[in-house]
């Protein structure tokens, strides 16, 4: 795999150093690793799910952690006691330890995880703070009035 040098980008672009860092970080994350296989699903406009095939792992073998926008899923598998006495002709089910990392976008949080039938499903949701949501500004409105949120109906104060 070829390395990409982003140094010229840092020198010519002002204020986008965080974006360049994310591109650099993404190019180093799990570039050639194919184990375990996974799916990323868009469930809704603001909901996502990551499904990871973890056959042979139990909930005690798996660890999920988020830190500074990085989701890390680790599977720690010790040598099985019954594996020593077995004589495999073909061993195609990989049960080795792994670490998978996913860079999460801003305001994306993990809401839950579930292990069922050898598939680990991690549910994610994007929660934008109120100040980041789009607002509709009425023309000619007084300067001190609150802008109305798009999609929300104005509350009536008639009593």
Q: Where are the domains of the chain?
A: 37-80+91-131
- Using the structure block, give the residue that is written with the tokens 């495999």: 88
Residues 80-109, mean pLDDT to the nearest whole number: 82
Q: How confident is the model at residue 56 (pLDDT cuts 50, 70, 90)?
A: confident
Residues 98-114, mean pLDDT to the nearest whole number: 93
Say what the pLDDT of residue 132 is: 80
Say what the pLDDT of residue 101 is: 93
Phi, psi of 8 (to 5 degrees): -60, -35
Distance CA 157, CA 159 (A): 6
Say what the pLDDT of residue 159 is: 43
> Burial level of 19, CB count in 10 A (0-12/13-18/19+)?
exposed
Q: Which two tokens stand for residue 22?
A: 């994310």
37-80+91-131 is classed in which CATH architecture? Answer: Sandwich (2.60)
- What's the mean per-residue pLDDT of the chain? 80
Say what the pLDDT of residue 150 is: 67
């Amino acid at each position: 795999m070829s390395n990409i040098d982003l140094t010229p980008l840092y020198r010519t672009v002002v204020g986008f150093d965080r974006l360049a860092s994310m591109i650099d970080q993404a190019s180093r994350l799990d570039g050639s690793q194919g184990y375990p296989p996974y799916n990323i699903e868009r469930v809704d406009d603001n909901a996502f799910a990551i499904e990871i095939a973890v056959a042979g792992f139990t909930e005690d073998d798996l660890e999920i952690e988020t830190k500074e926008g990085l989701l890390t899923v680790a599977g720690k598998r010790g040598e099985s006691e019954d594996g020593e006495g077995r004589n495999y002709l073909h061993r195609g089910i990989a049960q080795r330890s792994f670490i998978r990392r996913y860079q999460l976008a801003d305001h994306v949080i993990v809401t839950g995880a579930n292990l069922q039938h050898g598939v680990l499903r991690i549910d994610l949701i994007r929660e934008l703070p109120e100040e980041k949501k789009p607002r509709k500004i009425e023309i000619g409105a007084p300067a001190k009035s609150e802008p109305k949120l798009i999609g929300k109906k104005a509350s009536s104060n008639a009593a």
